Chain A
């Protein structure tokens, strides 16, 4: 479970105060909001990339408010993937495992399993140069999931890709949601994307984060 308890975040010229959020374990929560509303700032605070000045953040029952990003057990898919330049896809997928000291043989096996799951086996020897938007996002998703995170954070994962590629990636994310294997926090401005994927919908506007709706996916999941 992810829980934000009355957190405050200072971000550049503005301050977000008293934000609360709850995401049940294995469910998908989306935060919608216009550009500049602060939804990505909330995501960054959850990931430990922004300082929280008040309140607390809980992931899986642990307080992680001031924990280092790497100790939070999070997988992150940023907007446009943010793939590592010059690094082969195989090394990129294996990087979270390498950082955790997983041996090379085990790492290679897990990378191949993940690549098969995401349909990117043929890309393992390539670097990020020349990959399509959809391929980049699949790799970013694999990189975020390979260490079996407690929480998956998605920042506008479908915004930088075309409609057709978006459909196949959305299908992949739908499968991921339906397995219930990971808790997901997703931020976007795209309502269709939210309706297709989320169990619960939150809205961020004018510095206020409020629960908006539960979708049919939540009803079906029960």
Chain B
């Protein structure tokens, strides 16, 4: 059964209930608005113009957009099968895997960064993996130098993970994908697996039932997971600082810019970049919702 019109709460008898809803929501919204106003008090037109004229900040905006988008895509690529596995497939050790997936969510971000640094800098397997990434990047540099130049990764020098742009993506992905997996798990759990069972009886393999029946039912979950991963990646700072560094015009994303500007006492620039982040985040989140509405999910 579906209810096409929104449930309305009107009338005197509902007043206390509506007041409670508005009051609790209002406290949180007021906090967010206050934070934005506090930032705005330090920013005027000249600061915004100076920020947009700054090659370092433009670089940070570009790098943030590119890395967050790549991270969101990679997170969804992992989250869809992982969420399905955890939601639908019973296997020994599922509770353990489920708990491990949540580790990046509960750990302090800086601990994730430290663990990444130790893995890729101090262990043989980590160095071997970094070698593979370097080889792939060198190959990509040969076949698509234009893209690498646009990413600021062109040239003959050896590129890798640690203290480099791929490290920014890996640091973002390590945390963002945990949120995406959680979202996809819930999305699969909320759909009725009876339809997949029917598909199996009618001749589908598990892969076909997943691809043709289960996956179209979680379109909304995929958009939500991607959006959440993107937003989480945009705000990621701790792991990036430790694992990829805070080098201007190299591994500098928007949170790094805020950190660097605050370190030199330039509060106005830090506040301006913070507001830019809010603007970028709102634009992308609203666009994702509009896209979701347009494709009917």
**A interface with B by C-beta (< 8 Å):** 47-49, 68-70, 72, 74-76, 78, 82-87, 95-96, 98-100, 143-144, 147, 153
Within 8 A of A (CB), among B199-247: 199-205, 208, 212-213, 216-217, 219
User: Within the complex, which residue of A70, A84, A98 is in contact with B200, where a contact is CB–CB below 8 Å?
Assistant: A70
Task: Of the listed stretches B60-68, B189-197, B265-273, name the one at the interface; the rest are far from the partner chain.
Answer: B189-197
Contact B194 A70 (CB under 8 A): no
In the bound complex, do residue A82 and residue B194 qualify as a contact, i.e. CB atoms below 8 Å apart?
yes
- B202 CB contacts on chain A under 8 angstroms: 70, 75-76, 95-96, 99, 143-144, 147
User: Which of B's residues lie within 8 Å of A, judged by CB?
Assistant: 191-192, 194-195, 197-205, 208, 212-213, 216-217, 219
Chain B, residue nearest A73 (CB):
B203
Query: Given contacts A84-B216, A86-B216, is CB(A48)–CB(B192) below 8 Å?
Result: no
Given A78-B194, A99-B208, the answer on whether A85 and B201 have CB atoms closer than 8 Å is no
Report yes or no: A76 in contact with B203, Cβ–Cβ below 8 A: no
Q: Of all chain A residues, which has the CB nearest B216?
A: A86
In whole angstroms, how far apart are the Cα atoms of A48 and B213 in the complex? 19
Q: Which residue from A78, A82, A95 sits with its C-beta under 8 Å from B204?
A: A95
Q: Judge whether B201 and A99 touch: CB under 8 Å.
A: no
Tell me, in angstroms, the Cα distance from A86 to B198 when the chains sit together.
Answer: 16
- Smallest CB separation, A151 vs chain B (Å): 10
Interface contact A76-B198, CB-CB below 8 Å: yes
Report which of B198, B205, B208, B212 forms a contact with A82, defined as CB distance below 8 A: B198
- Inter-subunit contact A74/B204 (CB<8 Å): no
B195, B203, B219: the one contacting A84 at CB < 8 Å is B195
Contact B192 A99 (CB under 8 A): no
Residues in A neighbouring B199, C-beta threshold 8 A: 84, 95, 99
Question: Least Cβ distance of A163 to chain B in Å?
Answer: 19
A98 to B195, CA, bound (A): 16
Chain B residue at minimum C-beta to C-beta distance from A144:
B202
Given A84-B216, A86-B219 in contact, is the A99-B205 Cβ separation under 8 Å? yes
List residues of chain B with CB within 8 A of the CB of A144: 202
Q: How far is the CB of B205 from chain A (nearest CB, A)?
A: 7
| Complex Cα–Cα for A82 and B213 (A) | 11
CA distance A76 to B195 in the complex (A): 11
- Contact (A96, B200) CB under 8 Å given A82-B195, A85-B216: no
Nearest residue (CB) in A for B205 is: A70
Q: Are A96 and B198 in contact (CB under 8 A)?
A: no
Q: CB distance B198 to A85 under 8 Å?
A: no
Residue of B nearest to A81 (CB): B198
The answer to whether A72 and B201 have CB atoms under 8 Å apart is: yes
* A74 and B195 in contact, given A84-B212, A84-B213 (Cβ under 8 angstroms): no
Evaluate contact between B201 and A76: CB separation under 8 angstroms. yes
CB of A95 to closest CB in B, whole Å: 6
The answer to whether B203 touches A99 (Cβ under 8 A) is: yes
Question: Smallest distance from the beta carbon of A113 to chain B beta carbons, Å?
Answer: 18
Which residues of the other chain, B, contact A95 by a CB distance below 8 angstroms?
199, 202-204, 212
* 15 more A-B residue pairs beyond the given contacts A82-B192, A83-B195, A84-B217, with a C-beta to C-beta distance below 8 A: A49-B200, A70-B201, A70-B202, A70-B203, A74-B201, A76-B198, A82-B195, A82-B198, A86-B217, A87-B213, A95-B212, A96-B202, A99-B204, A143-B202, A153-B201
